[in-house]
Amino acid sequence: MNPEPEDSEAAAQHPSFTGVRNIVEACARLTEVDGAAVALLGTSRNVRQLVYATDPRSLRLDELQFTVGEGPCVDAHRDDQPVRIHDITGPEAMLRWPMFSHGARELGVRGLFAYPLGVDVPFGVLEMHRLTPGDLTPTEHDAALTCAASLTNGILATFAHPAFAEPSGTPASTDPFDRTSVYLAAGMVAVQLRVSTAVAMDRLRAHAFALDRSLIEVAAEVVSRRLAFRDEGDRS
Q: Where are the beta strands (DSSP E) in the chain?
A: 35-41, 48-53, 83-85, 111-118, 122-130
pLDDT given at position 92: 93
pLDDT given at position 113: 98
**Nearest alpha carbon to residue 234 among 189, 196, 183, 202:** 189
pLDDT given at position 223: 80
pLDDT given at position 207: 86
pLDDT given at position 230: 72
Q: Where are the beta strands (DSSP E) in 90-171?
A: 111-118, 122-130
Rounded distance, CA 18 to CA 233, Å?
A: 47
Average pLDDT of adjacent 10-residue blocks, the chain of 236 residues: 37 52 92 94 67 92 89 93 96 95 96 91 91 96 93 72 39 50 75 78 82 82 84 45
